[in-house]
């Protein structure tokens, strides 16, 4: 009598129902993703950027954009809104409502800015070039012997002066609406509707002023004869200079 035994292995499988909280031993556990904290209404308002500051076309005062009413291409503050609307109903011309800055007051503002730029530019040139900033010709008796060196020094000095002047003009006009010289005399550089000047337009306005200089000053003088007191660089960049008080 012979006996035969089967050696077939027995495999036990353990399954877990989906509804249970048990995790398969070979399955990698993934922690739940954290949810962003909920923001209350006052936090959302606090995180919102402040409205840009524009200028009233009537009185020239700086005013938040939300407090200005638009009439065509003009922006008018709440205090001037009723009077301006009345002028429109009566057909009164409003082209001269804003007080534009004339030639002489802008000339004085340019003198103030020129003094500031001279001091700042001199300090920067002496910092970069040292004593050569004051005397770019090492041998005054024989300047041709160091001509290339002297021209290089003059070129660097001119480049530094241009960069400082352009940044000074563009940043102040774009951020504050006026350079320190204009701020001292309550002047603002604005767009035709009273809006602010962008940084790119402010840079372009500076280099347009260079063109006004190349015309032997005629580009500046025409501001005294224009109805909106625009110089040549204002006409090129579509800007206005107004008095805010």
Q: pLDDT digit string (tens) for 185-202?
A: 999 999 887 788 999 999
pLDDT at position 203 is: 95
Q: Residue 212: CB partners within 8 Å, gap ≥ 6?
A: 218, 219, 220, 231, 232, 233
Looking from the CA of 32 toward its CB, the CA atoms found within 13 Å total 3
Assigned domain for 5 exists: no
The C-alpha atoms of residue 90 and residue 109 are separated, in whole angstroms, by 38
- Indicate whether 217 belongs to any domain: yes
For 5, other C-beta atoms within 10 Å of its C-beta total 5
Statement to judge: residues 132 and 223 lie in one domain: yes
Last-in-domain residue among 30, 64, 98: 98
In a domain, 12, yes or no: no
Query: What backbone torsions phi and psi does residue 74 show, to the nearest 5 degrees?
Result: -115, 145
231 plus 114 within the same structural domain: yes
Residues 86 and 111 in one domain: no
Q: Are residues 145 and 230 in the same domain?
A: yes
Contact 125, 161 (CB under 8 A): yes
Considering the domain architecture, whether residues 220 and 130 belong to the same structural domain is answered as yes
Degrees to nearest 5, angle at CA 131 with 125 and 136: 80
Asked whether residue 155 falls in the same domain as residue 174, the answer is yes
pLDDT band at 110 (very low <50, low <70, confident <90, very high): very high
In a domain, 29, yes or no: no
The per-residue pLDDT for 231 is 92
pLDDT, tens digit, for every residue of 137-189? 666 666 666 667 777 878 888 888 899 999 999 999 999 999 999 999 999 99
- Do 157 and 124 belong to one domain? yes
Domain boundary among 64, 98, 132: 98
Phi, psi at residue 111, to the nearest 5°? -65, -40
Q: Is residue 158 part of a domain?
A: yes
**Position 32 in a domain:** no
Tell me: do 138 and 184 sit in the same domain. yes
In this prediction the pTM is 0.60
- Does one domain contain both 107 and 94? no
CA dist., res. 32 & res. 23, Å (int) = 14
Whether residues 90 and 109 share a domain: the answer is no
Higher per-residue confidence, 229 vs 135: 229
Q: Are residues 90 and 140 in the same domain?
A: no
| 235 and 135 belong to one structural domain | yes
> Is 122 domain-assigned?
yes
| Residue 209 falls inside a structural domain | yes
Looking at residue 44, its pLDDT comes to 47
* Predicted confidence (pLDDT) per residue in 34-50, tens digit: 665 555 555 544 455 55
Share of the chain above pLDDT 90, in %: 31
Number of domains in the chain: 2
What is the 8-class DSSP label of residue 223?
G
Structure tokens at 4: 């035969």
Nearest to 162 by CA among 106, 109, 203: 203
Domain that holds residue 126: 103-243
């Amino acid at each position: 009598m012979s006996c035969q035994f089967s050696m077939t292995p027995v495999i036990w499988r353990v399954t877990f129902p989906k509804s249970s909280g048990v995790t398969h031993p070979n399955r990698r556990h993934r922690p739940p993703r954290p949810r962003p904290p909920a923001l209350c209404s006052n936090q959302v308002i606090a995180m919102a950027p402040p409205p840009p500051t524009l200028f009233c076309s009537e009185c020239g005062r700086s005013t938040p954009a939300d407090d200005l009413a638009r009439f065509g291409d003009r922006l008018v503050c709440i205090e001037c809104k009723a009077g301006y609307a009345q002028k429109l109903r009566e057909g009164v011309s409003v082209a001269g409502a804003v007080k534009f800055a004339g030639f002489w007051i802008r000339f004085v503002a340019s003198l103030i800015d020129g003094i500031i730029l001279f001091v700042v530019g001199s300090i920067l040139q002496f910092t970069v070039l040292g004593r050569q900033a004051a005397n770019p010709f090492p041998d005054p008796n024989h300047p041709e012997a160091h001509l290339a060196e002297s021209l290089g020094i003059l070129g660097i000095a001119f480049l530094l002066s241009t960069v400082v002047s352009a940044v000074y003009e563009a940043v102040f006009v774009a951020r504050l609406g006026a350079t320190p010289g204009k701020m001292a005399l309550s002047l603002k550089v604005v767009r035709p509707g009273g809006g602010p000047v962008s940084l790119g337009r402010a840079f372009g306005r500076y280099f347009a002023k260079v063109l006004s200089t190349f015309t032997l000053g005629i580009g500046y003088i025409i501001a005294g004869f224009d109805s909106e007191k625009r110089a040549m660089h204002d006409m090129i960049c579509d800007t206005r200079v107004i008095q805010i008080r």
